[in-house]
Structure 1
Amino acid sequence: MDDIVIRGGRIADGSGASIITGDVAIRDGVITQIGGKAGPAKQEIAADGALVTPGFVDVHSHYDGQVTWDETIDPSFSNGITTTMMGMCGVGFAPARPRDRDLMISVMEGVEAIPGIVLAEGVPWKWESFPEYMDFLAGRSFGLDVGVLAPHAPMRVFAMGERAVTHEAATADELNVMRDLVRGAMKAGAFGISAGRIAEHIYGDDRKNTPGTFAEHEEFFALAEAMAESGRGIFQIVPRGAAGASPIAPVATRQDREAEHQLFEDIARRSGRPVHYLLQQFGSDTGDWQMMLNRTRAANEAGLPITCHIASRGFGLVSMLDGYHNFQARPSYREIEYRPVAERAKAMREPARRAAILSETNLPPQTVGREATFGSMMLTNLGGRGYLFTPADSDYEPDQERIVDNVASAQGKTVEEVVYDHLAAADGGNSVVHMLLNYAGGNLDHVHTMLRHPDTVSSLGDGGAHMKLISDASMLPFHLSFWARDRKRGPRFTVEEMVARITGRNARAFGLSDRGLLREGLRADVNVIDFDGLQLHHPVIAHDLPAGGTRLNQVTTGFLATILAGTVTRRNDSDTGARTGRLLRSVA
């Protein structure tokens, strides 16, 4: 007898093949039947026409710290994700000698906006080497499976000490140390190596660049060639110029970006291994993404395996009363900042307090602290380019009428007045979304082209990172709710196409041959989805991190069941408490 039978579902098997209707049977964690009428089972799930898909495979997260103290692994767990890859962008927590732990925390705080106080309290530091870190994770259980890339920055610091931080070139001996670290990481089951070259990745009060940002090309070749000795692994990299022009980074010209792509090609040629890089549209050169895609296609046609990681929607940051906002450092706001958000919003609507907050200047950093200073300064500097969102509004392709500047002009208000009144409205749940990347043209037509491209994977959910700025782990179910169903301003995709992108395609990109498809004999990672009722809710603040830390969480509802390795981990959008997720070790 089978353990579970999902009855009467519309089965999208993750390959892109046409949907079929029938049953899915599971026994001992493995799929035993797809389609037709299955026999009796110990547990039956009545799909009754619901969509049945493989579990979603997330290929870009930053749970490196969270997995050491948490078992749930949200926000990914509640968004249908059954496998996630972490250790991205060259930052992580292994290897790390005791003297370097504070540095690794500071780098992660700066690059991925995970509060240092959360990491300092939460990470137990039961390891020093990368293999020891992997062994520690292997002793834990989770709501999903986790795979790990070995990050460059900790290896560079381990090999070079202070010289890594001051961006000196590695000596031959230091390169040999890094080679050995890579070999050890691959032997321990790493899925590859990650590195970061983007100048915007900075950390600390003195705004230093991440170790490895300016490493010589020979250093990247050494890492990649050592990885290739294992016969497996991908080399993931955040390219220089990935965010376009910015106040804290030199402008990357087309020539600079083409030189960056040449580096990817050289790494792939020298190592014979796939290179994955991040690609988004940005406003300072709205044609850059197409140029890079064209280079990537030509490289693949020449036999060099290069893949772009793309986002499926506008990408930036969310401003709201419970997160970061323009008024955090104003004296009259500080008087009410600890009230519940609905009471705070009501107090902000009082005419006298509104006038006071809008007329005040920010208190100094030594008075209000780093977070309030960061939030108020950052959002003030962004001005009126954000889009106004409410909890009732789920249009992820907003038109120009919702831009703060345009609303201010139409209403005869200042930008600050528009932002203030919007955030203070109703129960304080409204937001202003600054789409810093991937929305320069005011639409998602370019994303449609990227999603059609053979050399892209759907990525950049960033689960575990940018905790009070974004909540993009929901981007995988967004492929279904938006791209296969709700888009109004342009063409959509079929359900089969979008399911394949977030399951089988991502699994293949990381060599996961046991999952990502609904096939007899493969691992039983499955989602049962009310496709018509699938809904991404407005982000809210969750208070569930060590040291009282908070994070944005975007809840997705419409999952009738999520099954991991044959065990139901979620049922009707609720956690069953099962923790069958484990560390994945890549093997030859």
Structure 2
Amino acid sequence: MTYDLLIKNGRIIDGSGRPAFHGDVGVARGRIVELGRLDGPARRVIEADGRVVAPGFVDNHCHYDAQVLWDPLCTFSCHHGATSVVIGNCSLALAPVKAPDREKLAGMLSYVEAIPMDVLQAGVPWTWETFPEYMSTIGQRLAVNVGTFVGHSAVRLYAMGEDCSERPATDAELEVMRRVVREALEAGALGLSITRNMNHFDIVGKRIPAACAPESELFALADVLRDVGTGVIQCGGGTNPELKDRLLSRLAQACGRPVMYNTLLEQARQPGRWRTHLAHVEETARKGIRAIPLCNPGSVVNRFTMKNCQVFRSMPTWLPILQGSDTEKMQAYRDPAMRARLRAEVEAPLGPDSTFSKRWDLMIVDEPRLAENRALKGRSIAAIAQERGKHPLDAFLDLAVEEDLNTVFSLGEINMDTEAVAQILGSPHAVVGLSDGGAHVQFHSNVSNPTRLLGYWVREKKIMSLEQAVRRLTFDSAAAFGIYDRGLLQPGMVADLVVFDPDTVRPMPEDVVHDFPSNGWRMRELAEGIHYTVVNGEVLLEKGTHTGSYPGRVLRNARYQAVHDPRA
């Protein structure tokens, strides 16, 4: 037969975890048609030259909900081998929405996920109201595949208006929510996203609507998924309620659907809790309950200035200051009485929702702005405070104020213990993911999950086989999120593929680019060793360069595909 694409002489790792083998991959009409030694004619031939040919990676936790409207490649996930991304997480989405509520809904995405509001105002066209209309809008021009969750915060705002963060829903409002969730599922949404993260606020300082919903509302909405018989529930901030009273396990049992939640990780704020959490997850799996955490192969290092900081926002005195103008910030940080209040909150005992560990030894001066402070570069606030005989908070704020809030600090509190992270990544009861692609764009980029897992954890640390790592990035995610026609390199499956060099694959150092609407800037993280990215049988990226094609599609749930022609 004539192939549309023929990849020759590859080291085929099919996503199942089985051993690699050498061969060719034939693609026609967007699907894999054969593996082996293939000699038929092809419209395009790629010489893999012994490099790995694998299923395209699934970036399963992203916030490209707005960015996809001006950047259909969803950069920079695709540069790390991702052919599919999942958006609408943590209850945050841009639909459904009524015209008067657009600014409020955008403000939730802006503040929670640290996407500048002026970028959203310039880049989001707001040509939809319903969730199916939003799906249709993004589907008009896609380079990668995009799966969507309908977000509980958006649904609650749509049903309740301005009261959405103030009170329980009435019976009539709850029925509106249930109808909207059903409508989204019938249009192909991958499921429903909720949140129990009590540190998620909108741009004016109100807790986002989904975090204000009572448990009974969560169960009522989850029951829609049970009734329709499809979909996944995704929960932001799920670890605390799951460990407290098994909320997510109970939700999964009640509706019979998988619940994916954030996050199984090692963190300085709660040393050693990862062991307790891992044991809990293993026990849950033994009971046959599908309440499954995500885990991340990257260490999260947050770079920030005190003009734009999320570290202290869980503290009630800090929050309004962080949301104020730069002039108001400077005034507050200079005020001795206010300093005392801020210091008291920082020194308070850590709780489950704390956002700062009090580890001033991990707070580093990354980029001092004044010449006289250049010697501070690379030093910790703890060391500077000890040298100057000050409380660490005073040393920190004195420097920030002296440099007009322009000092760049870095703080690494998450996944810094490599031995702990290795054990977490090796657990079959967690799913690798949580890049947060499209979020926190001026603090850090964490889209390098695939290249970090393959380069650092497999090649350097050797914590698992290459075949197992590919499975973690492909089949495990696709199956967990209900994307059943991708994630395996087998005849009949959709031809989402990546060709990479296992000897060189790795993330590149971050830099800054000004490529957002309104000349907005963000952190960029590219990759080395990813040679080809193929989406639906078409080459999307060749050695990191876009070919100009837009072969992506909106990913839809199993029920939708059963009702409609899955090959259409």
TM-score (norm 2): 0.82
Q: Which amino acid aligns with 1:404?
A: S
What whole-Å deviation, never above 9, does each CA across 1:130-150 have from its counterpart, x for those lacking one? 122122223x22220000000
State the partner residue of 1:342.
none
Secondary structure of 1:199's counterpart equals: coil
Identity of aligned residues (%): 32
Pick one of 442, 467, 476 that aligns with 1:496: 467
- Is the Cα contact below 8 Å between 1:306 and 1:455 reproduced in 2? no
Alpha-carbon distance in structure 2 between the residues aligned to 1:42 and 1:225: 48
The equivalent of 1:117 in structure 2 is 118
Of the three residues 450, 459, 462, the one matched with 1:476 is 450
Contact preservation (8 Å) 1:31, 1:518: yes
Alignment partner of 1:220 is 2:218: yes
Q: Is the partner of 2:10 in helix, strand or coil?
A: strand
Mapped partners of 1:213, 1:43: distance in 2: 50
How big is the shift at 1:542? 1.4
Task: Tell me which of 262, 271, 291 is aligned to 1:306.
Answer: 291
255, 267, 288: which one aligns with 1:282: 267
- Offset, 1:19: 1.0
**Change in 2 beyond 3 A, CA 1:585/1:71:** same
Deviations 1:44-99 (A, max 9, x none): 11111111111111110001111222222101122211001100000111111111
CA drift of 1:433 comes to 4.2
Change (3 A) 1:175 1:492: same
Instruction: State the alpha-carbon separation in 2 of the partners of residues 311 and 89 from structure 1.
Output: 16
Change (3 A) 1:407 1:135: same
Mark the CA change 1:403 to 1:497 in structure 2 (over 3 Å): closer, same or farther.
farther
Residues 1:518 and 2:518 are matched in the alignment: no
1:413 & 1:146 partners in 2: Cα distance?
Answer: 53
- 1:89-129: per-residue Cα shift (whole Å, max 9, x none)? 00111111111111101111111001111111111111111
Change in 2 beyond 3 A, CA 1:151/1:365: closer
The answer to whether the 8 Å contact 1:385/1:403 transfers is no
Query: Number of residue pairs matched?
Result: 505
Answering whether residue 387 of structure 2 is matched by residue 404 of structure 1, we say no
Aligned to 2:174: 175
Q: List gaps (5 residues or longer) in structure 1.
A: 243-251, 330-361, 391-401, 425-429
Post-superposition shift, 1:20?
Answer: 0.7
Cα separation, partners in 2 of 1:370 and 1:461, compared to 1, 3 Å? farther
Indicate whether 1:553 and 2:554 are aligned.
Answer: no
Asked whether 1:451 is paired with 2:435, we answer: no
Q: In the alignment, is residue 315 of structure 1 matched against residue 300 of structure 2?
A: yes
Change in 2 beyond 3 A, CA 1:257/1:274: closer
Letter in 1 for 2:290: P
Give the match for residue 34 of structure 1. 35
Specify whether residues 92 and 369 from structure 1 end up closer, same or farther in structure 2 by C-alpha distance, changes over 3 A only.
Answer: farther
Q: Do the aligned residues in 2 keep the contact of 1:106 with 1:204 (CA within 8 Å)?
A: yes
| Alpha-carbon shift at residue 403 of structure 1 (Å) | 7.0
CA distance in 1, matches of 2:172, 2:29: 49
Matches within 5 A, 1:334-353: none
Distance 1:36 1:451 in 2: 35
Whether contact under 8 Å (1:77, 1:143) holds in the other structure is: no
**RMSD over aligned Cα, in angstroms?**
3.3
> C-alpha displacement at 1:165, in angstroms?
2.1
- CA–CA separation in structure 1 for the residues paired with 2:63 and 2:308: 27
Question: 1:434 aligned to 2:403?
Answer: no
In 2, are the aligned partners of 1:275 and 1:307 still within 8 Å (CA)?
Answer: yes
- Is the CA contact 1:8–1:47 (under 8 Å) kept in the aligned structure 2? yes
Instruction: Name stretches of at least 5 consecutive residues in structure 2 with no aligned partner.
Output: 310-320, 334-341, 343-354, 368-377, 560-568
Cα deviation for residue 388 of structure 1 reads 8.3
Matches within 5 A, 1:108-507: 108-138=109-139, 140-166=140-166, 168-205=167-204, 207-239=205-237, 242=239, 258-260=243-245, 262-279=246-263, 280-317=265-302, 319=303, 324-325=304-305, 366=325, 383-386=360-363, 404=380, 433-439=410-416, 443-487=417-461, 491-507=462-478
Letter in 1 for 2:432: S
Determine the structure 1 residue equivalent to 2:91: 90
**Paired residues of 1:535 and 1:556 also in contact (CA < 8 A):** yes
Distance 1:293 1:382, change over 3 A: closer
Residue 2 of structure 1 aligns to which amino acid in structure 2?
Y
Deviation at 1:515, TM superposition (A): 1.0
SS at match of 2:448: helix
TM-score, with normalisation over the residues of structure 1?
0.79
Aligned twin of 1:333: none
Deviations 1:531-563 (A, max 9, x none): 212231111111111111111110112121111
**Shift of residue 202 of structure 1?**
1.5
Conservation of the 8 A alpha-carbon contact between 2:66 and 2:120: yes
> Alignment partner for residue 514 of structure 2, among 536, 543, 556?
543
Distance 1:520 1:538, change over 3 A: same
Give SS of 2:26's match: strand
Alpha-carbon distance in structure 2 between the residues aligned to 1:177 and 1:495: 47
Select the residue among 516, 529, 550 that pairs with 1:579: 550
* TM-superposed deviation, 1:270: 1.2
1:353 corresponds to:
none
Give the C-alpha shift of residue 296 in structure 1: 2.6
Q: Separation in 2 of the partners of 1:157 and 1:200?
A: 18
Supply the distance in 2 between the matched residues of 1:116 and 1:406 (Cα, whole angstroms): 34
| Alpha-carbon distance between aligned partners in 1 of 2:171 and 2:157, rounded to the nearest angstrom | 15
Alignment partners' CA distance in 2, 1:477 and 1:293? 24
User: Residues 74 and 413 (structure 1 numbering): CA distance in 2 closer, same or farther, change over 3 Å?
Assistant: farther
- Alpha-carbon shift at residue 174 of structure 1 (Å): 1.7
**Secondary structure in structure 1 of the residue aligned to 2:472:** helix
The one-letter code of the counterpart of 2:144 is L
Q: Report deviation, 1:408.
A: 6.0
Amino acid in structure 2 at the alignment position of 1:162:
E
Partners of 1:482 and 1:196 in 2: CA distance: 31
Q: Deviations over 1:401-452 (max 9, x none)?
A: x8735886999999989xx9xxx9xxxxx9864223233xxx2222211222
Q: Counterparts of 1:145 and 1:484 in 2: how far apart (Å)? A: 27
Q: Distance in 2 between matches of 1:113 and 1:328?
A: 9
Structure 1 CA distance for aligned equivalents of residues 307 and 121 of structure 2: 28
**Partner letter of residue 203 of structure 1?**
D
Decide whether the 8 Å contact of 1:56 with 1:476 is kept in 2. Answer: yes
Residue type matched to 2:164 in 1?
A: A
| In 2: Cα distance, 1:32 partner to 1:433 partner | 49
Q: 1:316 to 1:535 in 2, by over 3 A?
A: closer
